[in-house]
Chains A and B, each alone.
Chain A
Amino acid sequence: MAARRARVLSGGRVRRYARIIGTFVAAEAKNEMAYRLNLALSVFESFLVIGTSLGAVLVLFTHSTSLNGWTLPQMVTLTGVYYLIQGGVSIVFQPSFEKLMEHVRMGTLDFTLLKPANAQILLSTRHFALIRGADLVMGFTVVAVGLYMLSASVTALSLVTFIVTLFCGLMCVYALMLSLVTLSFWFVRIDNIMAIFYAFTDAGRFPVDLYPGWLRFTLTTVVPIGIAVTVPAEAISGRMSYETFVGMLIGTVLAVGAASWFWRIGLRNYTGASA
């Protein structure tokens, strides 16, 4: 992911970041393997959670052939995307951001800031919680199942737009989390705020058009889990309109830009303060 962004910058930096991230992955992998049972159990838990969620969707569909216009294969795919996003966030972003907030609280941020690499990227990818990979794998599997169920209608275009919007969705959530963490520069304890956002992400499991107006708005802007999940699912199901796609792209660029800008302000403020 960070590699992808770097490609936009310059070739040499790509290799450097890739190597850095590579060492992070190796270190974490070794650490995590030591907890042998944890791995197996983590997979089991993932299976349980996603399985029962799919079960809930199936129960809904025993009484109807459509959920607000969404068919079962489309809903299965959406559920897969939901857990894909959850998995992606919890593997990469969540641990790193939690550590970051800890650093800010303890005042130990300086160590990372002194390293000769973009602080934002380093901090965002530091802790690969590989053990959470299970969610990601399961998510992929469910998406694959959904795609299989949809197979007749999957085109190259929908596949490409799916991948692009999926990436955009992840970046939107990234932007949100980065902004939240930036807040911790001023309000050291923002756990409560984060908890509120976590609570709202549960709503991503259903298509965002299901919800009453205010909730739909919240899930599209403030807590973008709604669009992060629904739009890619729409893309692959052939439900996405051109406007939505463009809107998504623009929105993502704006969101990430704004969040990065906000972060830089926070960082400046922080280092200025401790100088």
Chain B
Amino acid sequence: MRKTQTPASGSATLTSPMSDRVVEVSGLRKIYKVHERQSGLGATVRSLVKRTFKEVQAVAGIDFAIERGEVVGFLGPNGAGKTTTLKMLSGLLYPTSGTATVLGYTPWDRRDEYLRRMTLLMGNRTQLVWDIPAADSFLVLKEIFRIDDKSYQRRFDDLVELLELQPLIHKPVRQLSLGERMKVEFAAGLLHAPEVVFLDEPTLGLDVSMQVRIRGFVRELNKRTGATVLLTSHYMDDIVALCKRVIVIHHGKLLYDGGLADLAERMAPYKLVAATLRDGAADADLSKYGEIVSRDAGRVTLRVPRAQAADQTARIVGELGPDLADLTLEDPAIEEVIDRVFSGDHPFGTPEREPVAAR
């Protein structure tokens, strides 16, 4: 049975009259031109003479704004445009059209002052020097980012403690395991206490316990320093554990921007009723109560529209009486919700809220 995820409860973005918008994105668009390469000897010879291009819209015009201190998750399947968006916000990529401002800077101007106040951490990409201990690479970063001795020592100690780096930082980076290396890369990226942290697939390729630790670390980071965090992931656990607010991107378009709990309510406005029947009544037909999702050795799972959930549950209890051994009422798994969002499925019955359209 699929484990049910409980989305982080809480409302969507905090807004106040004096809102401090750290990230503002408007009409951001990124179009790539790609060579078309075909197989077959004939096509290859033809391509010697003439080449064809294809336009790919990686990001098809998106708008959103993020306040200081938020932890926002970018959710989307591979190729959705999440990493591309992050690269534009960190200044590595410049857009085809549209604007974006982070901390008041245009990221792709790549001003030194901007670079000192932000960081982009990309999963398993190494930026540390391979052959020397991380601690020594840190000293180089200290100078590059102009961190004074006292702040450096304090942050160094904090990061070593938070990420449990003590046994790792004096070993050459090449000798560390993937998980250890990622922790050290994290620390390297945060030495200069950036106000904005972009995380691209931070838990990719890590084992479960390391994933949990990284999540805990990001949460601590946000709590202690108030850094604004934007993370992309296709692990639902990351998003669920860290983000109150989620931005869903698919085919370069923004499908949803709001609280995770709201997402579930809008995209999958139903509840799952699981009724366990006693041996005698295992064949009972429960289809009148709702859509049967699965039937498994006396345990029947039904999909029931939210509005009717309470009534149907009461009916089941009343009408089945002693034949009912157990009854549970659950929210749909977040993965299921997300799958529906991406596949464009409309959940049964209720009129669907239009996806937040891109301009």
Interface residues of A (CB under 8 A from B): 30, 33-34, 36
Closest Cβ neighbor of A30 among chain B residues: B41
Sample of 11 A–B contacts (CB below 8 Å) = A30-B41, A30-B44, A33-B41, A33-B44, A33-B45, A33-B48, A34-B37, A34-B44, A34-B47, A36-B47, A36-B48
Closest Cβ neighbor of B48 among chain A residues: A36
CA distance A39 to B150 in the complex (A): 58
What residues of A have a CB within 8 angstroms of the CB of B37 in the complex? Answer: 34
CA distance A36 to B45 in the complex (A): 9
Closest Cβ neighbor of B38 among chain A residues: A34
What residues of A have a CB within 8 angstroms of the CB of B48 in the complex? Answer: 33, 36
CA distance A33 to B37 in the complex (A): 12
What residues of A have a CB within 8 angstroms of the CB of B45 in the complex? Answer: 33
What residues of B have a CB within 8 angstroms of the CB of A34 in the complex? Answer: 37, 44, 47
CA distance A110 to B200 in the complex (A): 38
Closest Cβ neighbor of A29 among chain B residues: B41
What residues of A have a CB within 8 angstroms of the CB of B47 in the complex? Answer: 34, 36
Nearest CB of chain A from residue B213's CB, rounded to whole Å: 32
B258-288: CB near A (< 8 Å → 1, else 0) gives 0000000000000000000000000000000
Nearest 3 A-B pairs (CB), nearest first? A36-B48, A34-B44, A33-B44
CA distance A108 to B41 in the complex (A): 30
CA distance A22 to B103 in the complex (A): 62
Closest Cβ neighbor of B43 among chain A residues: A34
Nearest CB of chain B from residue A30's CB, rounded to whole Å: 6
CA distance A36 to B47 in the complex (A): 8
What residues of B have a CB within 8 angstroms of the CB of A36 in the complex? Answer: 47-48
Closest Cβ neighbor of B37 among chain A residues: A34
Closest Cβ neighbor of A31 among chain B residues: B44
CA distance A33 to B48 in the complex (A): 8
Nearest CB of chain A from residue B36's CB, rounded to whole Å: 12
Closest Cβ neighbor of A32 among chain B residues: B44
CA distance A30 to B44 in the complex (A): 8
Nearest CB of chain B from residue A125's CB, rounded to whole Å: 22
Q: Which of B37-64 contact A (CB under 8 A)?
A: 37, 41, 44-45, 47-48
CA distance A33 to B41 in the complex (A): 9
New A-B pairs, 8, CB < 8 Å, besides A30-B44, A34-B44, A34-B47 = A30-B41, A33-B41, A33-B44, A33-B45, A33-B48, A34-B37, A36-B47, A36-B48
What residues of A have a CB within 8 angstroms of the CB of B41 in the complex? Answer: 30, 33
Nearest CB of chain A from residue B161's CB, rounded to whole Å: 38
Nearest CB of chain A from residue B40's CB, rounded to whole Å: 9
What residues of B have a CB within 8 angstroms of the CB of A33 in the complex? Answer: 41, 44-45, 48
CA distance A264 to B41 in the complex (A): 39
Nearest CB of chain A from residue B131's CB, rounded to whole Å: 15
CA distance A36 to B172 in the complex (A): 43
Q: Which of B236-270 contact A (CB under 8 A)?
A: none
CA distance A19 to B48 in the complex (A): 28
B20-47: CB near A (< 8 Å → 1, else 0) gives 0000000000000000010001001101
CA distance A14 to B37 in the complex (A): 37
Most chain B CB within 10 A, of A33, A34, A36, is at A34
Nearest CB of chain B from residue A31's CB, rounded to whole Å: 9
